[in-house]
Chain A
């Protein structure tokens, strides 16, 4: 009998099918709900500074989410997506990376971006699509991106960043391969992390991206946020088998599942994943299990598809859990925390008002960046449009006054 490449044959003589759920992958948990370390667990090596920054990021994002959810309800921004319930998964994974590692996110990972240093004003400018938005007012709110912070601009189509992360990570690796011997000189200085939800794992891009990463050994950390819902579709109507983690194993990728409400577990897993990716130049899959406490987006109403009882059963607050641990470490106290929250709320409100007042991008933003320089047809169309707006300035108040 031939042995096709890359398959290990374990011959038996019983007609047996392996059950689709046979693979049961354990879930790493380090913190208890009371903020203690599980007796049989080992806390990761995390400095006080990192732990405090991690906590401050989660706290900030929770407050930003609350305020912007409200701002959307008031009609001040058109759209918003909260990270509610997944703050630890997103922040702790970002905290375990190098600042120069590339982050390719889906849309709910604003905490990772803030951890990198994206300012409150930068968040606001994007959401209000004003002329200070790095994306020049072209995408809906929450489609952040920053080259300086190595955070790839969000794209609305779901899952498209997954094979892109594989390609990006492969680029990070290529320069570490010796041209003559073909050997990898490790460690690779920077790797890529790719976030996506369990819903996006149904897209073809997921399968293409994981398969290519496995075959070509790209140093990418796939971070699946399994939060129980893809918009309104519960995970059990989204996939079968043992979560997204089992798919990682199927593709031949080192895989771990973590409690996504446990900042220490996520931090430990991501730190180790980064080490594997950068040392061996190969992909890793992390599946984080953390219930999405909020709606999918402001266009969604979870009361239509899940019960209050169900939500109550999942009310583990990842931020509180970590806070309890910090207090036990004597790195934080309730009084300072309360004061800080009040100050952040005021900052957010002030930044929101500032961003609202900044003018929209100039007309030029309509045609720039389609190509590196506008092609002739675009130049003609732009000239025609300018002439038209000059003739009807009252109909185009945002741009008319600024046309040269």
Chain B
């Protein structure tokens, strides 16, 4: 074990992959010598050469098109989109190509070797073009997997699982926690199973569900709630697609209450899918309506970020409302 921040953990997962497969390539804007805008790929070019770790021209569409081709060839394609806000020029390549490669070809070809890494979310004073959480757009597309880690241990284990998974995966990295979140991480290889949520804290009164950077907020709220005598079960969804209905339903059957929190705007956010499914699964066990504490239906703001984000106070208000229903 070693103490690592999330960037070190991600770098370690990439390093293991590069060692493992002689044709694996890491590429994206500025990822070469510079190591990426957040330095997640630092040191890899020196180790594996310019032909395997390289800067691309500034073309997200090109990065994903190239990545689809490289993955179809059979080489692990580890593509970085510098900010999730800039993934949209690559939308067609991801949604129409990566996601459908296997299906449309009858499995003659597939891009299971593709992993897309991209920093998402707010909290870095990035305003509307450096703070978005676009996971729900991709969660509407069959054929993709979507994963979000909450800390360095999760980041390494989940990223390795994404890379080994034989499907194209988008790995959203909570950029606010890149350096802020540190912890013990094994230096050797390990994987965390995709599609499984983690019950981070057991509780009996209300289930709090979140992912990525928002986990820090709900964990903090759970602590405050417990001081007020409310027992929260805290769950990290980890995989947005496929998502672990069973674990959530089991928890909500026990607690009778569910609050989902995410940074993305509330309307058609992934919380909506969770609420719809869980009300169907747990209807007779619910003590109050499923609630969502999310971003507003506005672009992500700059100056009024504190007002916009679903913080602990807002989650606490929802807990009280749910308990008093």
Alpha-carbon distance between A211 and B63 when the two chains are bound, in angstroms? 11
- Looking at the complex, which of A23-31, A142-150, A253-261, A320-328 is the stretch in contact with chain B? A142-150
Query: Is there contact, CB below 8 Å, between B97 and A164?
Result: yes
B155: Cβ under 8 A from any A Cβ: no
Query: Is there contact, CB below 8 Å, between B93 and A211?
Result: no
- Looking at the complex, which of A53-61, A154-162, A230-238 is the stretch in contact with chain B? A154-162
Known: A171-B23, A179-B22. A152 touches B72 (CB 8 A): yes
The residues in B between 193 and 252 inclusive whose CB is less than 8 angstroms from any CB of A are: 195, 241-242, 245-246
Known: A138-B103, A145-B106, A164-B97. 17 other contacts (CB 8 A): A138-B106, A152-B109, A153-B105, A163-B62, A166-B69, A167-B77, A168-B70, A170-B69, A174-B75, A179-B48, A182-B50, A204-B61, A215-B57, A372-B110, A375-B241, A376-B246, A378-B142
- Looking at the complex, which of A9-17, A83-91, A128-136 is the stretch in contact with chain B? A128-136
Which B residues touch A133, using CB under 8 A?
Answer: 106
Which A residues touch B65, using CB under 8 A?
Answer: 160, 162-164, 166-167, 205, 208-209, 212
Query: Is there contact, CB below 8 Å, between B59 and A211?
Result: yes
Query: Is there contact, CB below 8 Å, between B102 and A212?
Result: no
B179 to chain A, nearest CB (A): 31
Binary CB contact string for chain B from 38 to 82 against chain A (1 if under 8 A, 0 otherwise): 000000000011111010110101101111111111110100000
Binary CB contact string for chain A from 272 to 313 against chain B (1 if under 8 A, 0 otherwise): 000000000000000000000000000000000000000000
Alpha-carbon distance between A205 and B69 when the two chains are bound, in angstroms? 13
B307: Cβ under 8 A from any A Cβ: no
- Minimum CB distance partner of B68 in chain A: A164
A369: Cβ under 8 A from any B Cβ: yes
Binary CB contact string for chain B from 116 to 155 against chain A (1 if under 8 A, 0 otherwise): 0000000000000000000000000011010000000000
The residue that A153 contacts in the complex, of B22, B61, B74, B104, with Cβ under 8 A, is B104
Between-chain CB contacts (< 8 Å), 5 pairs: A138-B103, A153-B105, A155-B104, A168-B73, A205-B93
Known: A133-B106, A138-B106, A147-B108. A174 touches B69 (CB 8 A): no
- Minimum CB distance partner of B57 in chain A: A211
- Minimum CB distance partner of B71 in chain A: A167
Most buried by B among A143, A170, A182, A368: A170
**Total chain B interface residues with beta-carbon distance under 8 A:** 53
- Minimum CB distance partner of B244 in chain A: A376
A353: Cβ under 8 A from any B Cβ: no
- Minimum CB distance partner of A170 in chain B: B70
Known: A135-B104, A157-B97, A168-B73. A182 touches B51 (CB 8 A): yes
Alpha-carbon distance between A163 and B98 when the two chains are bound, in angstroms? 13
Which B residues touch A376, using CB under 8 A?
Answer: 195, 242, 245-246
A40: Cβ under 8 A from any B Cβ: no
B166: Cβ under 8 A from any A Cβ: yes
Alpha-carbon distance between A311 and B179 when the two chains are bound, in angstroms? 66
B298: Cβ under 8 A from any A Cβ: no
Query: Is there contact, CB below 8 Å, between A216 and B54?
Result: yes
Query: Is there contact, CB below 8 Å, between A168 and B72?
Result: yes
Alpha-carbon distance between A77 and B100 when the two chains are bound, in angstroms? 23
A106: Cβ under 8 A from any B Cβ: no
A312 to chain B, nearest CB (A): 39
Query: Is there contact, CB below 8 Å, between A211 and B62?
Result: yes
Which B residues touch A172, using CB under 8 A?
Answer: 73
Which B residues touch A166, using CB under 8 A?
Answer: 62, 65-66, 69
The residue that A134 contacts in the complex, of B23, B59, B106, B242, with Cβ under 8 A, is B106
A376 to chain B, nearest CB (A): 6
Alpha-carbon distance between A162 and B107 when the two chains are bound, in angstroms? 21
A18: Cβ under 8 A from any B Cβ: no
Query: Is there contact, CB below 8 Å, between B143 and A371?
Result: yes
Which A residues touch B71, using CB under 8 A?
Answer: 167
- Minimum CB distance partner of A220 in chain B: B69
Which A residues touch B51, using CB under 8 A?
Answer: 174, 177, 182
The residues in B between 165 and 212 inclusive whose CB is less than 8 angstroms from any CB of A are: 166-167, 195
Alpha-carbon distance between A176 and B171 when the two chains are bound, in angstroms? 30
B112: Cβ under 8 A from any A Cβ: yes
Which B residues touch A378, using CB under 8 A?
Answer: 142
Known: A167-B68, A174-B52. A369 touches B22 (CB 8 A): no
Which A residues touch B245, using CB under 8 A?
Answer: 376-377
Chain B contacts to A: CB under 8 angstroms: 22-23, 25, 48-52, 54, 56-57, 59, 61-62, 64-75, 77, 89, 92-93, 96-97, 100, 102-110, 112, 142-143, 145, 166-167, 195, 241-242, 245-246
Known: A134-B108, A208-B59, A371-B143. A177 touches B96 (CB 8 A): no
What are the 9 closest A-B residue pairs judged by CB atoms, nearest first? A163-B65, A167-B69, A208-B62, A171-B73, A153-B105, A164-B69, A167-B66, A168-B69, A375-B242
A124: Cβ under 8 A from any B Cβ: no
B271 to chain A, nearest CB (A): 17
Which A residues touch B242, using CB under 8 A?
Answer: 375-377
Which B residues touch A164, using CB under 8 A?
Answer: 65-66, 68-69, 72, 97
The residue that B105 contacts in the complex, of A145, A165, A175, with Cβ under 8 A, is A145
A194 to chain B, nearest CB (A): 9
A343: Cβ under 8 A from any B Cβ: no
Alpha-carbon distance between A204 and B90 when the two chains are bound, in angstroms? 10
Alpha-carbon distance between A209 and B50 when the two chains are bound, in angstroms? 19
Which A residues touch B108, using CB under 8 A?
Answer: 134-135, 145-147, 153
Binary CB contact string for chain A from 234 to 269 against chain B (1 if under 8 A, 0 otherwise): 000000000000000000000000000000000000
A169: Cβ under 8 A from any B Cβ: yes
Query: Is there contact, CB below 8 Å, between A179 and B49?
Result: yes
A395: Cβ under 8 A from any B Cβ: no
- Minimum CB distance partner of B194 in chain A: A375
B272 to chain A, nearest CB (A): 15
B219 to chain A, nearest CB (A): 27
- Minimum CB distance partner of A212 in chain B: B62
The residue that A175 contacts in the complex, of B23, B143, B145, with Cβ under 8 A, is B23
Alpha-carbon distance between A97 and B208 when the two chains are bound, in angstroms? 59
Query: Is there contact, CB below 8 Å, between B69 and A165?
Result: yes
A370: Cβ under 8 A from any B Cβ: yes
Alpha-carbon distance between A347 and B61 when the two chains are bound, in angstroms? 44
Alpha-carbon distance between A172 and B195 when the two chains are bound, in angstroms? 33
The residues in A between 368 and 393 inclusive whose CB is less than 8 angstroms from any CB of B are: 368-372, 375-378
Known: A163-B62, A164-B66, A212-B57. A371 touches B23 (CB 8 A): no
